[in-house]
Chains A and B, each alone.
Chain A
Amino acid sequence: MSESAIEIAIETTALTKRYAGLSVVRAVSIRLPQGSKTALLGANGAGKTTLLGMLTTLITPSEGEARIAGFRLADNHAAMRRRIGVLAHSPMLYEELTPLENLAFFARLYGVEDREARCEELLRLVGLWLRRHEPVAVLSRGYHQRLALARAIVHRPDVLLLDEPETGLDGEAVALLDELVLCAPGLTVLAATHRHDRIGEWAGGTVVLERGAVVEDTASRPVEPAATDEAATPEPAWSAT
């Protein structure tokens, strides 16, 4: 494996998604280095959510290829999904369960070994430890987002894909988001956002989408010849720590 392949965490090559013949994402090619923080920008309907959906493996691309943490997206390795954390529009929480039950369930699903300690650590970090036995349904939208953030990182992912992560968060929670995710060293972040005023605080580069295509990219690394030779290698780009 070349040095270049080791450093690239998210790589897409002409990634395209069409619905009923209409291209929602058009030939998107980006190369985001490990540990980079990238803001994904674009107006409503530009294709940000669909692009993130493909990178999370929830949406199957129509054309093109992508590699996350060295794994080919098309292979949909369980090992690859273990390295990805997702914070979407919807908090993806069970409202009838408590924060502790929600977090413990996802920790078990991801095979987290120190489940109890990890859940306690995260619930304390997001300020929900004292409300850990209350049903999620009675918590406010802001608390839902805090818990969703904890869920997204419960398995200690290497790559985080976020869709408008600041939505519904107060100032304290935004600071928490910065501390745990957006400014966390070593973590690769690709976040769709409309908060242009905050990009300078955390993003090292931006990718701008317009009608599904990349119109500006200050985050990607240029393709190096050695990196393309690695395209068929199914090995992970780096080991989890």
Chain B
Amino acid sequence: MVGDVNAALAVVLKDLRLTWRDRAGWLSAASFAAISVLIYSFAFDLATSDVRPLLPGVLWVTFLFAGVIASGQSFQRESEQGTFDALLLAPVSPSVLYFGKVVSNLIALLVMEVALLLLATILFDTMLITAELVLIVVIGTIGYVSLTTLLSTMGSRLRSRTMLLPVLALPLLVPMLIAAVRATGASLGEPSGSAPWTLLLVVFALWSAAGAALLFPSVVER
């Protein structure tokens, strides 16, 4: 158990270090996200209308596509350098490796999302850094990253991997996106309340994480 935790931590720290050293992919995703939010802020009439009902869609569409651009990076690098095989040779369960990958992707994506929430707060003149909203973003991102990490592993050995991830991920993420958008809307003042949607989001995140962790050993088998 201690060995597994240590191995997962080693993967997390190594991936974060690699993400920092080779920032190109994540910078592309962050640039895309920042430009998207900027364009949305110009598209909406901030002076005369309440933009809060539109913000959940703006945020999650931006998170989704920025995440798709960024989250394939880790496995793509491992595949190109042949290091994924070296990971699989290690005396730890593939699920431990999967957990390490999920945590490192989660941290990197959350940093980008929090920065995006700050930018959106300024551009839309609406307070988006609230405990409730940050919690919804964290839960939604856990579900999202759990699934996309598994799918990017599946696609890492294929030549058409850049196309495969969005094609596979987007339909599977629809339930999570609906729950995330509705929970975000409720936290921004919609009358329905965020609790039921947040609960659905939690269920999706747990289902994604557990299902993907169980499937991962089969996915990496040759």
- Measuring CB to CB, which residues of chain A are less than 8 angstroms from any residue of chain B? 53, 56-60, 78-82, 84, 86, 88, 90-97, 101, 105-106, 108-111, 135, 151
Partner of B21, one of A56, A58, A97: A97
**Complex A-B, nearest 3 residue pairs according to Cβ-Cβ distance, in ascending order:** A90-B82, A78-B91, A92-B86
| Chain A residues within an 8 Å CB radius of B93 | 78
The tally of CB-CB contacts under 8 A between chains A and B is: 72
Whether B85 sits at the interface, judged by CB under 8 Å, is yes
Interface membership of B191, Cβ < 8 A = no
Whether the pair B14, A111 counts as a contact (CB closer than 8 A) is no
> Do A93 and B83 touch across chains, with their CB atoms under 8 A apart?
yes
Q: Does B28 contact A (CB under 8 A)?
A: no
Distance A148 CA – B63 CA, assembled complex (angstroms): 38
**A108 and B10 form a contact (CB under 8 A):** yes
Beyond the given pairs A58-B89, A101-B17, 8 more chain A to chain B contacts, judged by CB atoms under 8 angstroms and listed by A's residue number, are A56-B89, A84-B89, A90-B82, A92-B81, A94-B81, A105-B10, A109-B87, A109-B90
A-side contacts of B83, CB under 8 Å: 92-94
Using CB atoms and an 8 Å cutoff, list the residues of chain B in contact with chain A.
3, 6-7, 10-11, 14, 17-18, 21-22, 81-83, 85-93, 221-222
CB distance from A66 to the nearest CB of B (A): 15
Chain A nearest Cβ from B4, distance in angstroms: 9
Are B91 and A81 in contact (CB-based, < 8 A)?
yes
Q: Which of B10, B89, B91 has the most CB of A within 10 A?
A: B89
Cβ of B11: which chain A residues have Cβ within 8 Å of it? 109
In the bound complex, what is the Cα–Cα distance between A175 and B39 (angstroms)? 62
**Residues of A with C-beta under 8 A to B92:** 78, 109
**A151 CA to B89 CA, complexed, in Å:** 12
The A interface is mostly helix, strand or loop, or mixed, namely loop
A90 engages B7 (CB within 8 Å): no
- List 17 A-B residue pairs with CB atoms under 8 Å apart, sorted by A's residue number: A53-B222, A79-B91, A80-B91, A90-B81, A92-B81, A92-B83, A96-B18, A97-B21, A101-B17, A108-B6, A108-B10, A109-B11, A109-B87, A111-B3, A111-B7, A135-B21, A151-B86
User: In the complex, are the beta carbons of B18 and A86 less than 8 A apart?
Assistant: no
Contacts of B21 in A (CB 8 A): 96-97, 135
Which residues of the partner chain A approach B91 to less than 8 Å between Cβ atoms? 78-82, 110-111
How far, in angstroms, from A135 to B18 measured CA to CA in the complex? 11
- Cβ–Cβ < 8 Å partners of A88 in chain B: 82, 85
Instruction: State the CA gap A90–B11 with chains docked (Å).
Output: 20
Contacts of A53 in B (CB 8 A): 222
- Partner pick for B82 among A92, A105, A111, CB 8 A cutoff: A92
> Considering only CB atoms, which chain B residue lies closest to A105 in the complex?
B14
Q: Least Cβ distance of B204 to chain A in Å?
A: 31
- With A78-B91, A111-B6 in contact, do A92 and B85 touch (Cβ < 8 Å)? yes
Contacts of B22 in A (CB 8 A): 96
Distance, CA A81 to CA B86, complexed state (A): 11
Q: Which residues on A sit within 8 Å (CB–CB) of B18? A: 94, 96-97
Chain A CB count within 10 A is highest, among B14, B22, B91, B222, for B91
Q: Verify A60–B90 contact, CB threshold 8 A.
A: no
Is B81 within 8 A of A58, CB to CB?
A: no
A59-B222, A78-B91, A96-B21 known; A91 and B7 CB under 8 Å? no
CA distance A170 to B222 in the complex (A): 34
In the complex, which residues of chain B have a beta carbon less than 8 angstroms from the beta carbon of A92?
A: 81-83, 85-86
The distance from the CB of B36 to the nearest CB of chain A, in whole angstroms, is 28
> CA–CA, A11 to B105, complex, Å?
40
A110 x B90 contact (CB < 8 A): yes
Q: Which single member of A59, A93, A109, A111 contacts B81 (CB below 8 Å)?
A: A93
Residues of chain B contacted by A94 (CB below 8 angstroms): 14, 18, 81, 83
Task: Tell me, in angstroms, the Cα distance from A110 to B90 when the chains sit together.
Answer: 6
